[in-house]
Every structure is written in structure tokens, then in C-alpha cells.
Structure 1
């Protein structure tokens, strides 16, 4: 009859051997390779997977990226800035990205929410998170790297990293071509562009540094007329508008809203600028121009062409 093992009287090496023997089967489950990975790692990844079969997308670029990845069938609702592609317009609209209603989002019974950075308000997002809806924020940014980062984040969240990689390569190559064409213009020939977001009580709300407007103007081979004076969007005094000396005033097309060209040019400060004297007002689609999504390369080329003619043509 064998003696029972007394842990209190066991020598250190015996304790160590016993622990190893008992834990060996468990260690095997952690280290046994299966299909090039580890069982434990794969199990952890499965537990962390988010169900993205019923997705609400917030932000025009985010929605475009999901469709560009070929995953548009997952979207059950979108915000009011998501107007491309046309299929998105058939989906329920949960409101403007910065004024979301939690009730509207919850009503479509989503399994996940994918929103661009800056969406809100904060209390609405807190309600959605407390409701247990998985939430992913897509970092905002206004350059080539930021666009590719958005694609990467969206692709990984949806579990299609290979598709994201292919889209990044395609979009990156298109951006490189458009930016290179615009960069051919000498600095001395670059036009100064004043981007007007809106008029507030007769004062111009203009784009400064670190805005989507500032980013696209630079990529298209032009100069933000307010360059170096302030960040974000800010109302300008008449003196500031005159000192900006814009060659072009740029405004966005908004169906049923906004000022006419005549009203813009009649502003006393704009009237005395080069843009006012030459009556140069440029209107472009806001989502296409400022979205910084998969179509930004064409936005760069379109803006460059509107400003100078054929991209890269420095004779004009």
C-alpha cells in the first residue's frame, strides 16, 4: 500500500515536481500550435470579437469606408453626414453626428456603433455605452496618413484586415498621384483661398489651421488665406478678412441653405479683396471635399483643377 503524500513534509524539489506534473496538461493547452497560432490566444480572440452584423455608422468618411470595403450590407443606420454612396441614403438617419439622439440609435437595435472622432454629444455617447452597445472611435485627421489610418481602424473592427490593406494600397497610390500633380505648382503661383463655413450676424466664420478645409487646400496646391493666424473655425473681423487677401473665396454647396455668390461678394470686407474684385467664388460639395475618406484623391484633383485648370499646369 503506497504512502499518502504529505505536502508539509515534502522537500522543495518534490513540491516543484508535483506542481509541474499537475500543471502540464494545462500548459499544453496554452502552447499547442493549431493552424499557426495558439489555442489559448485563439480562444481569447474569439471572446473579444464584436458582433458587427448590425452596424450604425457615424461620419461620412466612416460610412464610405465600410462600403468601399464591400461590407455595406452590415449597416442598418447612418448619420446625416453619410450621403455617399447612394445606397446609404436608403438607410434610417439617426441625426447629425455632433447632435446624436441615443433613442434614435437604440431604436434600430444595432450590435455595434462605429463613429468618427468628434461625434457626440458626450452624454449621448455615454448613454449608448451604458446600453452595452460596442463602440469604436475612428481617429480624425486631414492628411494622407489619417485617411489610411481610418481605413485600417474600420477594417480591423469589422474583422476584414486583408480587405483594409488592399484598400489602403489603392487609396494611397491615388493620393500620391493627385498630391504629386498639385505639388508641381511653384509657391509663387499658389492662390490664397478663404474658406467660409458660414455667416453669423454679418461676420464670416472662416477655417484656420488644423481643419479639413485647411488640409484639402494645402493638398491641392493652394494656401489657406488665414494660415498661421488661428486654429479651428473662427469668426473674423472685417479687418482680418481684408488682411487675408484671398484670391478665391470658397464656400460649400448646401441644398436649401447658404448665401448666394452675390451675397458673398457684397460683403464689405470681401468686396475689397482680390477675390471680391475679380468676383471669384468657388463652390464645392462639402462631403466630397472635406470628408477625408476613400475619394479624397479625386477631391484634391477637382479642387486643383477648379483653382488652376488642368492639375500640374503651371502656365495659367
Structure 2
């Protein structure tokens, strides 16, 4: 173990994990914070509390400027070299079970780098605001949190008010692609996206609440969604609306026949945060347009 520690510390001097070859240009940090949570990353930046953030995980892609920071790998595929290169004094993550692989997590814990997890889990509007306030209290950004939460409330209320004017609730299928042997990875009703679709005045085509799941082309066809939201990864791989509409299982749906397949950002769909009201309003326009 002692030899391992010496080897790992040596890597700090010779290694770095960078995104787009961007080195850590920040100097004289009072704290050196590594964020391993895209939700925390967005909230901390929205609060204006990012001063001491020196690295993030690869899932942290919002706001745009975080792409200039060095990265430490994906949260479930962390790089010990990248982490040590960031020389963190604090690691923030949203739960030890979301980190991996296990042997890297053990190495991090053996190095005794302080770690911080916020207790609140954002499952609805109230708990999202509570998480924003909890993070704000840690960084002494209470006034910024009040402003963010007020905006979130106003936007969600606007979406809900708009929803009362619609006479129909379109059935929406959210696809995160991953088509292999005509099997699709889709989002179900249990997560953040289910909340936003409901606030927008629609309903999820997949009623199951167990999270993401793989569905065959036949089942997709049977669900026959009115609208399909395809995340950026899958949409960009296919490259055009016409190619998407030709996919097995999708080609026969009302969404394909009526040209109601739209590109959305995967990051916007998987957690609730300060932009969830604005995202809901944008989804509402997509879903209900004719």
C-alpha cells in the first residue's frame, strides 16, 4: 500500500486529465474543489459559487464554461490520475454509490481526501429548492439561492397555468437511443423527466416508474407515442429527421407519421435543478406545437 501511495503521488507531477486540452489555469485557491455530480456542478455555478472548483467529472457539461475545466473521468469510471492531478482539498459528490469503479473509490478513501455530500435529494419542486438552499448555505450564497428559487417557482407555475389550457395530453416517449438489435433505452415516468412532462401538460408514454429501461421495437410501436423526444447523443448519431423516422418500431408511431420527433439535451432530462422551470416551458412548446 505504501508503494502504491508513492506511485500515485508521483503521478500528480506527471499526469493530468484534461478536456479539450485545457489545463487548470486557476491559481491560489483557498480550496480546491472537485465536483463529481452534474447536478451539483450546475447549481454551484448558478449560485456563482464556482470560484474554487478546479475539476469536474465528464457528465458535468452545463454551463458551457465547465467544459474548459480538467476532468476526472465519468463518475462511475473515475481516473485516479486525473483526480490527483487536480490536487483536491475537497471532493463533492451526490452519493458514494454513484461513484466507481470500486477499487478507485477505495484508493480515494485511502488517501483520506475530504468528501462532501449534500443531504437533500431533488425529487420535486420543494426538494429542488431545498437542495439549492442547502448548497447555497455551504457557500454563503443565500441571496442567490432566493433569486434562483423564485425564478424556478415562477416558471413552473407558468407552465402549470399554460397546461390548463390544453384539451389533450400528448403521450411522450423519451428515448436515450442505444439501439442494438432494435432495442431502445428509454426514460420512464419515475425520474425528473416525468415531472417536467407532467408540468408541461402531457404524460409519459412509458408509465413504469423504475427508471431507464430497454424496450424492443415492437413495444415502442405498441406504445405509439404522439411525441418522441430523442436525446442529443442518439439524435446526432443518426443525423437527420428522415433517418430517425425510418427506425424499426418508431416508423409506425404517430410521432413519426406526424413529424413530431424532436432533439433534446440528455443533461436537461435526468435531474431537477435551477433550470428545470425553463426546460419545462421549452418542452411544453415542443410537445404542444402542431
Normalised by the size of structure 2, how large is the TM-score?
0.78
Distance 1:215 1:183 in 2: 11
Contact 1:171 1:297 in 2 (8 A): no
Q: Which runs of 4+ in 1 moved over 6 A?
A: none
Match of 1:150 in 2: 131
Contact 1:182 1:304 in 2 (8 A): yes
Match of 1:129 in 2: 109
- The size of the alignment, in residue pairs, is 255
Q: Deviations 1:172-223 (Å, cap 9, x if unpaired)? A: 2222222222223247512111000112332111111322322322232221
* Gapped regions of structure 2 (runs ≥ 5): 1-28
Match of 1:172 in 2: 149
* Structure 1 residues 288 and 209: CA distance shift in structure 2, 3 A: closer
Q: Deviations 1:128-154 (Å, cap 9, x if unpaired)? A: 222111112245434213322332332
Aligned pair partner of 1:57 in 2, 24, 35: 35
Contact 2:149 2:274 in 1 (8 A): no
Distance 1:146 1:243 in 2: 35
* Gapped regions of structure 1 (runs ≥ 5): 1-50, 310-315
* Structure 1 residues 259 and 143: CA distance shift in structure 2, 3 A: farther
2:73 is the alignment partner of 1:92: no
Aligned pair partner of 2:80 in 102, 113, 122: 102
Secondary structure, aligned partner of 1:279: coil
Map 1:254-269 onto structure 2 (within 5 A): 254=233, 257-260=236-239, 261-269=241-249
* Structure 1 residues 236 and 256: CA distance shift in structure 2, 3 A: closer
* Structure 1 residues 255 and 191: CA distance shift in structure 2, 3 A: closer
Q: Deviations 1:247-279 (Å, cap 9, x if unpaired)? A: 111011239953343332112322222112112
Distance 1:284 1:170 in 2: 26
Secondary structure, aligned partner of 1:271: coil
Map 1:120-269 onto structure 2 (within 5 A): 120-121=99-100, 123=102, 124-138=104-118, 139-158=120-139, 160=140, 163=141, 165-184=142-161, 185-186=163-164, 188-198=167-177, 199-227=179-207, 229-254=208-233, 257-260=236-239, 261-269=241-249
Distance 1:62 1:104 in 2: 19
Deviation at 1:64, TM superposition (A): 1.9
Q: Deviations 1:65-119 (Å, cap 9, x if unpaired)? A: 2222222110011111222233322210111222212332122110001113453
Larger Rg: 1
* Structure 1 residues 289 and 82: CA distance shift in structure 2, 3 A: same
* Structure 1 residues 217 and 230: CA distance shift in structure 2, 3 A: same
Map 1:278-297 onto structure 2 (within 5 A): 278-297=258-277
Contact 1:206 1:235 in 2 (8 A): yes
Name the Cα RMSD after superposition: 2.5
Secondary structure, aligned partner of 2:229: strand
Higher relative contact order, chain-length normalized (CA < 8 Å, sep 6+): 2
